[in-house]
Amino acid sequence: MITESLALLNGRIWTVDKEKPWANAIFIRGDKIAAVGSNSEIREQVTKETRVIDLDGAFAMPGFNDAHVDFYRGAVSLQSVKLGDAEDEQDFAARIRGYVQQIPPGEWVTEGNWNHENWESQRLPRKELIDPFTQSHPVIVCRMDEHISLANSLALELAGITEDTPNPAGGEIRKDPETGEPTGILVDTAQELVLSVIPEPEPDNYEAIIKQGMRHAASLGITSIQDNTTGSTLRIFQKLLRKNELTLKVNAWRPVRLLQQMKDIGMQAAFGNDMIRLGVMKIFADGSMGAGSALFFDQYTDDPSTSGIAIYSEEELTALIVQIDRAGLQVSVHAIGDKANHWALNAFQKARENNPDIKNRRHRIEHAQVVTPEDLLRFRELDIVGSVQPSHCIDDMKWAEKRIGERVKQAFLWDSFLKNKVQLAFGTDWPVAPLNPFVTLYAAVARRPIQGEPESSWFEDEKLSLEHAIECYTLGSAYAEFAENVKGSLERGKYADIVVLSQNPFQIEPKKLLNTDVLYTIVNGKIIYHEA
């Protein structure tokens, strides 16, 4: 049996291998890289059965590994109402009105990714804004950070939410101060009251949604994802793998509520194969800055009545993390505020003390947005991966100082992390932010909004070089999932996960990164996307 082979020639290839950062050609045998080198070296291995692609000087690099997505919700957002650039409340409402006119009665309206900070009023919307024309459609549309949603009256009714419904732990049902009636705004865990009553799509439709998401990912050069995976989505991923139709590699996280189940079956960190891995437990320590629910030591500058929401007490958070660590599973903690990050680090330290025999944990803090100087050093001391999403910075910089004042100096400390030898992994948090990796790279190297002010870099000292940004998005993300020995750089023996771009990002100004197209996406030596 002849093993399929593929040769990429005449390229400008950035390998992310410090020993050999640049090459002109790659030879792939089966699903692995067999050789990386000059054109003449690779041509020596080409046979008549080899497929040869002349890159004609095009730039190639390892495929992007998005270290933080909610893939199913992102795939749903591709076909849902688009609210991210709504100009004001009226535009927001008009878009929902237009969307419901195109779908059958009874169908849910979800996602949306609106941002009231972009509106002149900067007021949170209320259900009365959309109730008049959504009487036949339950609606729960999320703010861009997914920590606040607006539900219409029908959705609240289906979830049994009334003026008498108490706030769930770690969340808030916003109510009118005069009438006590819910406004439709649900914060953090309160969203689950409505999300839990949304029926799942039919299996064939569910699969179609995932496939649409995979096509979108392939068109952007994404070859691996680390995903907040539901059980239903995991079943679809497995089904696609059995049919040889899974076109990206999945590290599937499980929610902490399933910890006992994972312990009972003896699951360990990084279990699985090159296509699907398990072993990460996801836990939330707080909410988000945009929702006013990220947990800080001090009160919010623009709302001194609160310092955020703790999803768990510090004692509860510590107990959970110690349990997960003892079970040999990897911990992924969502922490944005400085107090939430501090509590998470305290818990990791306690886990090391209580479980001294466990080695190479690689626990992670997702977002790690606002971190005190003292706690930044503890990331390295405790070997915690900072799983960050640079695109959040270019959104949050527009309003973060209003929200937390001087503490913005401790936000998005990417260069400080790297200088202190903290391992960073890059992701997008899709659909909170676009899945487009070129937006992420731009944010990392420019720290400026794509449009509007400020026109200068925000806390310029924390910008990254393009070399470091690409490394975080490839080898750094692979490290975060215990996979740096098999992917993340273009080296002999590693999986052939490669992306070919329309322009060399090292030869253009940061803003032009946003105009980059993907020419080829290759996963395990197979071309899964080729620009027509």
337 Cβ neighbours under 8 A, 6+ residues apart? 286, 289, 294, 295, 296, 307, 308, 369, 370
Between CA 325 and CA 333 the distance in angstroms is: 12
Contact 529, 231 (CB under 8 A): no
In a domain, 101, yes or no: yes
pLDDT value of position 451: 84
Between CA 65 and CA 329 the distance in angstroms is: 21
CATH number at residue 158: 3.10.310.70
* Residue range(s) defining the domain that contains residue 185: 80-195
pLDDT value of position 114: 95
Please give the structure tokens belonging to residue 265.
């079956």
User: Around Cβ 328, how many Cβ atoms within 10 Å?
Assistant: 18
Between CA 263 and CA 20 the distance in angstroms is: 42
Residue 78 burial by CB count (10 A; 0-12/13-18/19+): exposed, middle or buried? middle
User: Around Cβ 403, how many Cβ atoms within 10 Å?
Assistant: 19
In a domain, 151, yes or no: yes
Residue 166 burial by CB count (10 A; 0-12/13-18/19+): exposed, middle or buried? exposed
pLDDT value of position 489: 98
Backbone conformation region of residue 245, classed left if phi is above 0, alpha if psi is from -120 to 50, else beta: alpha
Q: What are phi and psi of 153, to 5 degrees?
A: -65, -35
Three-state SS for 207-264 is HHHHHHHHHHHHHCCEEEEEEECCHHHHHHHHHHHHCCCCCCEEEEEEEHHHHHHHHH
Between CA 130 and CA 52 the distance in angstroms is: 56
In a domain, 135, yes or no: yes
What 8-state DSSP symbol labels residue 303?
B
Question: What is the value of pTM for the model shown?
Answer: 0.94
Please give the structure tokens belonging to residue 531.
């620009």
Between CA 148 and CA 133 the distance in angstroms is: 22
Query: Reduced to 3 DSSP states, what percent helix, strand and coil does the chain have, rounded to the nearest 5?
Result: 35, 25, 40
Contact 446, 459 (CB under 8 A): no
Ranges of residues in the chain whose predicted pLDDT is under 50: none
Q: Is the bond preceding 373 in cis, omega lying within 30 degrees of 0?
A: no
Each residue of 484-494: pLDDT tens digit? 999 999 999 99
Q: Tokens 């500058």: give the residue.
A: 301
For the chain, the domain total comes to 1
Please give the structure tokens belonging to residue 391.
């695109």
Contact 511, 442 (CB under 8 A): yes
User: CA angle at residue 514 from 88 to 409, to 5 degrees?
Assistant: 70
In a domain, 180, yes or no: yes
Rounded to whole angstroms, what are the CA distances from 14 to 311, 442, 445?
A: 42, 18, 17
In a domain, 106, yes or no: yes
Between CA 66 and CA 430 the distance in angstroms is: 9
In a domain, 157, yes or no: yes
User: CA angle at residue 98 from 92 to 104, to 5 degrees?
Assistant: 125
Residue 460 burial by CB count (10 A; 0-12/13-18/19+): exposed, middle or buried? exposed
pLDDT value of position 359: 83
In a domain, 165, yes or no: yes
Contact 432, 382 (CB under 8 A): no
Between CA 255 and CA 401 the distance in angstroms is: 32
Between CA 502 and CA 521 the distance in angstroms is: 12
Beta-bridge partners for 349: none
pLDDT value of position 2: 61
In a domain, 33, yes or no: no
Q: Which of these, 422, 424, 429, lies nearest to 391 by C-alpha position?
A: 429
